[in-house]
Structures are given as C-alpha cells and as structure tokens.
Structure 1
Amino acid sequence: MGRRPRHHRHPAPRHPPGKLPVITFRHHLTSLVAVFLALAVGIALGGGLLHEQVASGDADPEAAGAPQADPRGAYADGFAAAVAPTLLSGRLAERSVALVTLPGADENVVTALSEQVAAAGGSVTARFSLTDTWTTPEQKSLVDTLGSQLMTQQPEGSVAAEATTYDRVGELLGDAVATTEESATELNGKSRAVLDSLAGGELLTAPEEVAKRAPLVLLVLGEPPAAEGGDAILGGLVTGLARAARGVVVAGTTADGGDGQLGRLRGDPVAAQVATVDGIDTAAGRTATVLAVARSHDADGGAFGASGADGAAPLG
C-alpha cells in the first residue's frame, strides 16, 4: 500500500529565553472595546429589567421608597470611564467640534462630553446654547421672520430656497458655526453677523470670541418637547445642520432613545445623514458619543447607544 502523504507543519515560533510574545496595542485595544461594548449593553438591559421589576411590583417590598444602587451598573459605568481615555486616544486628533445644546441639557453631561472630546485629541471651537425662543412652537413667527431676513443677506444658494422655517434657521446656524471642509475654517464676517443676529433675537447664546467653524457638530438634546410641534423643530434644526457640516451627531439620554425624542428623530429621513447616540447620562454613552463624532467625519448615519439599532458604539 502506498504511504499517505505527510502534512508538514511549520514549527511554532521560538522566543528567546525569558521573553514572551508582545501583545500589540491594536489587539489590546480591540479586547478593551469588546469588554466595553458588553458592559455598555449590560447597563441598558439591566436598567430595563430593573425598571420592569419595579413597574410590575416584583421589587423587594422592603426597598420601596428608597433608591437602591445597582453595584453591577456602577461597576460597568466606572469601568467605562476608566477605559475611555484608551478607547478615545487620538480618535479626534486635530479635529474641531462645534458644540450645540438645547434648553435643559445637563451641564455636567455637557462638560463631560467636552472633556471627552479633548481626551480624544480634538477641540471644541465654541458652545452655542439654543434658547426656549428657538424651541417653543409659539415663537415660530419670530423665528421665521428672523430667518427670512438673514437669508436675504446670504450669498445666493447658500441656504436651500425650499427650506422650511426651522430647516432654514438651522442651516443659517450651521453655516455660521460649521463647514463641510475636512478641517476647521476661519469664521468670516457674515458668519459673525448671523451669530450676532440670532443672539440679538434671543434664539441662542454664543461666546463673543469664536475664531473657527468646525467640520463636526455635536448636538446635545435637553428636556423633551412639551408641546406639539417639538419634533418638527428638532428635525428642522438637524436637517439644517446636516446640510452645513461635514458630520453631525445628535446625542441624548437613555430615556431619549426608544420612544423618546431621539428615538422619534431616528424615524425622520434626516437620520440617514446624521449619527444618533442615546445614553449620555452614562459614562459608556458619553464615550460612544465621542466615538460617533470621530466616525462622522467620514461616514453618515448610524444609530448607537442603549437602544441604537447599529450597536452600543461605532468601532470604525
């Protein structure tokens, strides 16, 4: 009988005595990301299960009326905060971000997000805080009048002619604070005039010294709209910003996802042009938000966070 051919195996690599193979930084980072994502999803699912138990009356009756800390959730959030610098390092190197906030945005969260942008190597050009005048449906006439006046002062074609009231004012804001270029550009006189007019109309507050327009915009949601028409206002704002910026991320709390204001925005056609993240009330969600900001420089869309259809966080 003929012999079965032998399969030659390559010998295992030999390492000098006392030396172990080096684990690459990329391998180490990938492992951290995997654990981080598992924890991020665990926070969301754990919170949901706990909420269901309380709502159904299955919670410990002795604990009723006293808030109970979830040690697993606290550990997961602490872990996410601890690994965030490694996960974010260099993700926004030499990138600029314009920070736009809606009324009621948590100041501690906004500060933490700004710090995370810096931890990723980026910089916040300025913070632009929209007021209740912008977001209150009863003020639509004022917003429309101011937007129409400002539109006549812009170069022809710079603002979409068919833009609705809130699309228009959102695009005017976007043109003033953002750019579609890869890098930040100088703030020109027309941009400064738009910001001054919006501030004069009490639609927003902005720093007096703004030097750059950023390619990336981070929009932080605030209190859910109390009146009918709030979703249209948010959708118009986001549509306008998306036309003017290279990348836009809309971020809200865990409650804003699902059936909340961010969840409803995800059903709007503009969601294909911007990234959304829910969960900024957690360390994991804030880290996911900054990862989404980095991704938005080269990619549109994406729903991330506790209830994001595309996962807890982008890895691209």
Structure 2
Amino acid sequence: MEDDDVIDFRYHLVSLISVFLALAVGIVLGAGPLRDTISDQLTGQVEVLREEKEALRVEVDENRRAIEIDTAFIEASAPALLDDVLPGYRVAVATLPGVTDDVAAAVTQRIEQAGGEITARVELSADWAAPGAESARGDVADTARSDLSGISSSETDDVVLGTALAVALTDADASSPRVPSSRATSVLEALTDGGDALVSVQGEAAPADLVLVLTTPQVPLEPDATVDPELEPTNVTWALTLAATAEAAPTVVAGYAAIDTDLLVRVRGERTVTTVDGLGTVPGQVTVPLALAAVAAEEEPTPYGSGIGAQDPLPATQELTGPPALEPAPDPTGTDAPGSPDDPTATDDPTGTDDPTGTDDPIGTDDPSATDGGDGA
C-alpha cells in the first residue's frame, strides 16, 4: 500500500472516530446536565409560538368581524347615500376579459339604486391589448378612423380604438337620445365585425351619457415567481386605450389596485381617468355611482378608494338634476302630431272659429259680396 493511501485511510478513520465521539458526548450531555436546560428552552420557544399564533388568530377574527360590521353598515347606508345620485343618467358598462357576472351584476344594481339606467352592456376581448393582435387591431382602427371626426392620421391605433369605443357607446342621433347616430352604428359595426371581434354586445344597446369600464385583478405573485413579460405591454395598451375613451366621453374605470401589476394601477398612471378600486367589495361597488356622478359634474379625474395610487376614499356628493337631454323628434301619433294643440303648424284649428264655414268664412258676414247675408236689397 502506498504512503498516500495509508494517510487517506488514517484520515478517514480519525474523522469517523471524531464524529462518533462528538455524538456520544452530545448524548451524554443532553441526557445529563444539559437535559433540563435544553428542554426548558424548547418548551419556552414552543409556548411563545403558540401564544403568537393565538394572538394572530384573535386579530384576524377581530379584523374579519370589523369588516363584516363595516360592510353591513355600508349596505344599510347605501340607499340613502345613493338616492338620486344619477337621476335618469344612462350608463354603458364595458367589461374586460375575466370580469365575473356576479361583480357586473352587483355594480349594475348600485347604478340602478342611484337612479341610473344601464343602456348597453358590452364585453371587450383580449385582442384589444394582446401583444400578438397588433395587426387585427390596426385593421379595425383603419376601418373606424374614417368615421371619427378630429382623429388625425398620426394617432396611434390605441387612441383610435379608445375613441371608437366611446363614440359607439355614447353618440346619439340628433333627433333622439335613444337612437344611436349613424356614426355610432358604423363604428360599432367595425368593432363587432368578424369572428375575432373586439366587442361583443349583450342584448340591445342604446346611447349612454356615461361609460363604466370594469377591469380584473392581477393574481398576486409567489415570492419566487417572475412577472409575465407580456403583462406590462398589455397593461400599457389598455391604459392608453381607456385614456382615449375617457377623453372622448365621461368615463370611470373600476377595478383593483392591490399590487403594482394590477391594470388599474397602470391606468392611474395616466392621470386623466377617474378610477375606483376595490371593485369586488361593497365599498368599491357603492363608490362607482358616486364616481360616475363626479364625472358627470365634470370634476377633475381622481383615483378613489384605498388601494395603490388612491387619492380620496369617496367622491364629494354631487347634485345632478338630470342628464343632458336632446330634443326628441316629433311624434306623428303624439301630442306634437299635425292638428294637435302643440303642433306649431296648426295654430288655427280648421274646425274651430276660423273654420271657413264659420264667422270668418269668406262667404259669411265678412264676405264683401254678401253684406246682407248674400241677398241684395
């Protein structure tokens, strides 16, 4: 056996003996003089952890109970708080992919509770902002661009489509607030055309005074997870599009602002759109009609709620008397029909005192040819 092999063997043998000696010493000390000390330390640490767990459980229960009480209070206060907040205002609701029916229904209920009316419900597809759908968006934007006045050829597709959404949902015919204008109809056709349409309409759609866009939350990331590289450009596209919608029509965007990657946080970065966070909670849902009223009153764009970027928890109360009304078209079967008292073309009733057969009849007493009733003296 070579010298190196002898040294290696002796080294390993000594190391193994040292490990067993250390283990034996540990067992002796642990079972002897250090037993009570170690046991007491472990018992104390377990007790501390148990107390901390119990304190956290109590705190969680108290917080949950406080939230339940606050929610019940807001629920009870909502009818008085929202009474006549949106008197007769027409609201179009647009939902992004992933918004649940329960959330949309809860917000709709609050708007109606405030005196508003939902005149259109539309769903926006993911292609509005998907990084791989630029070409399809460009085609729709080119089709809609010709119907949008004031849109220059240099405007981006995001601005064109955001403006198109506002026009499609709010532009009314000059003769009736209930009838979409020809421009709105043409733009909506462009947005809903094809198998991969950007917009799908639920039921009948009538022009609205206000637009409400509902967004979804971003799922919180795990500590070691990485952000989807497509998330940020998608959020940017949505934010630019919705900013253009708000520029073209009174608009509120409601959603979630719990983490930095939530879409609503990016929308708030534009500083040109009124937003509401906490959409999945009763406080957030009650705030939505109040924010719509603030937009109708032409208040400055403000982020409402308690999430990231929020400025005020609640909008100031507005006293609205009603939406801006258009003069309705004359109804041939109603009070403005020809021959009715309110018809401007019928100031004299042909069957009344000015009837040609009456006192002003040219063949009657005022007839120059019949001074004595038509008989000569």
Q: TM-score, normalised by structure 1?
A: 0.71
Residue 262 of structure 1 is matched in structure 2 by: 264
Deviation (angstroms), 1:176: 0.9
Residue 81 of structure 2 is matched in structure 1 by: 87
Q: 2:151 aligns with which of 148, 159, 173?
A: 159
What does 1:1-316 align with in structure 2 at a 5 Å threshold?
60=53, 70-152=64-146, 154=147, 157-179=149-171, 184=177, 186-201=179-194, 202-207=197-202, 209-211=204-206, 213-224=207-218, 227=230, 228-245=232-249, 247-255=250-258, 260-268=262-270, 271-272=271-272, 274-298=273-297, 299-307=299-307, 309-316=310-317
Distance 2:128 2:265 in 1: 21
Residue 9 of structure 1 is matched in structure 2 by: none
Q: Is the 8 A contact 1:248 1:293 kept in 2?
A: yes
Question: Greater RCO between the two (CA within 8 Å, min separation 6)?
Answer: 1
Relative distance call for 1:104 and 1:243 in structure 2 (3 A) is same
Distance 2:268 2:190 in 1: 31
Relative distance call for 1:263 and 1:254 in structure 2 (3 A) is closer
Distance 2:53 2:257 in 1: 24
Distance 1:219 1:210 in 2: 16
- State the number of aligned residues: 249
Deviation (angstroms), 1:260: 2.7
> Which amino acid letter does the alignment assign opposite residue 190 of structure 1?
R
Q: Is the 8 A contact 1:254 1:281 kept in 2?
A: no
> Which amino acid letter does the alignment assign opposite residue 189 of structure 1?
S
> What percent of counterpart residues are identical?
27
Deviation (angstroms), 1:158: 4.0
Q: Is the 8 A contact 1:176 1:192 kept in 2?
A: yes
Specify the SS of the correspondent of 1:313. Answer: coil
Q: Is the 8 A contact 1:100 1:219 kept in 2?
A: yes
Distance 2:151 2:76 in 1: 43
Deviation (angstroms), 1:236: 2.1
Deviation sequence 1:216-256 (CA, Å, 0-9, x none): 111111254952311221122212212321x2111112526
Q: Is the 8 A contact 1:262 1:276 kept in 2?
A: yes
Specify the SS of the correspondent of 1:255. Answer: coil
Q: TM-score, normalised by structure 2?
A: 0.60
Distance 2:189 2:172 in 1: 22
Relative distance call for 1:224 and 1:199 in structure 2 (3 A) is farther
Distance 1:255 1:111 in 2: 22
> Which amino acid letter does the alignment assign opposite residue 251 of structure 2?
V
Deviation sequence 1:146-169 (CA, Å, 0-9, x none): 1112212x15x3434432111111
Consecutive unaligned residues in structure 2, runs of 5 or more: 1-50, 220-227, 318-377
What is the RMSD computed on CA atoms of the aligned residues?
2.8
- Greater Rg by CA: 2
Distance 2:283 2:116 in 1: 19
Deviation sequence 1:59-113 (CA, Å, 0-9, x none): 737989xx96811111111221221111000000011111111111122111111
Distance 2:55 2:313 in 1: 34
> Which amino acid letter does the alignment assign opposite residue 81 of structure 1?
E
Deviation (angstroms), 1:170: 1.1
Name segments (4+ residues, structure 1) moved above 4 Å: 61-64
Deviation (angstroms), 1:208: 5.1
Relative distance call for 1:151 and 1:80 in structure 2 (3 A) is same
> Which amino acid letter does the alignment assign opposite residue 197 of structure 1?
A
Consecutive unaligned residues in structure 1, runs of 5 or more: 1-57
Relative distance call for 1:217 and 1:63 in structure 2 (3 A) is same
Q: Is the 8 A contact 1:195 1:206 kept in 2?
A: no
Distance 2:52 2:275 in 1: 33
Relative distance call for 1:172 and 1:281 in structure 2 (3 A) is same
Relative distance call for 1:81 and 1:98 in structure 2 (3 A) is same
